Amino acid sequence: MDLLDIESGKWVRILAYQGGRRFEHRLRQLGLLPGQCARVLRHAPFGGPLLIEVHQRQLALGRGVAARIEVEEIDAPCDSR
């Protein structure tokens, strides 16, 4: 399951992502590490990006980016400080 499949408001745990060294680096810098919890806040219309919250910080990820992030849905909000 990738991040694109997740509905707004749901919590996820990041499992893995692939997309080249620079791409992975970029996500790591922003605190998106495997095992990390995140919440999908909203999807932009017309195939636009999605907005997620990690570490109480909001990130906009383009669909191409979100499609490369493998996640699992989790029930409870985890403490992602």
Partner 1 sequence: MRFALIGQPNCGKSTLFNQVAGYKAETGNFTGTTVTYTESKVRIQGVIVELVDLPGTYTLTGTNPAERETLRYLASHEVDLIINVLDASHLAQGLTLTLELLELGRPLLVALNMMDEAGRMGMSIDGERLQALLGAPTAPLIASKGRGVRNLFVAALHAAEKRLPPQRPHYSPALEQAIHILAANLNGNRRSEAAGAPADPIQKAAAVPLPPLPLAIKLLEGDESLLQQVALARPGVEDLVASAQAQVMQSLGRPAVWALSSARSELAEELAAQVVRQGERHYTWRDRLDDVLLHPLWGYLALVLILLALFQVIYGIGSATEKPLLAFFDSLAVWVETLSGGSALLGGVLYGLLQGVAGGVAIVLPYLLPFLFGLGFLEDIGYLPRVAFLMDALMHRMGLHGKAVVPFILGYGCNVPAVMSTRMMEEPRDRFLAATLATLVPCAARLAVVFGLVAFYLGPGVALALYLFNLFVIALTGRVVSAMLPEDTPGMILEMPVYRTPTLKSVASKAWFRAREFMVEAWPILIIGSVVLALLNYYQLTDYLNVLTRPITWALDLPGEVGVPLIFGVLRKELSLIMLRQALGVEDFAAALNAVQMVTFTVFVMFYVPCLATLAMLKRELGWRSMLVIAGLTVVIALLAALAARFVAPPFL
Summarize as ranges the residues that interact with partner 1 (CB under 8 A): 19, 21-31, 33, 42, 44-49, 51, 55-65, 68, 81
- What is the nearest approach in angstroms of partner 1 to the Cβ of residue 23? 6
Nearest-angstrom CA–CA distance, 54 and 18? 19
Tell me the two tokens of residue 39: 């919440």
- What is the nearest approach in angstroms of partner 1 to the Cβ of residue 51? 6
- What is the nearest approach in angstroms of partner 1 to the Cβ of residue 41? 8
Percent helix, strand, coil in the chain, to 5, is 20, 40, 40
- In the complex with partner 1, the residue whose CB is nearer, 1 or 26, is 26
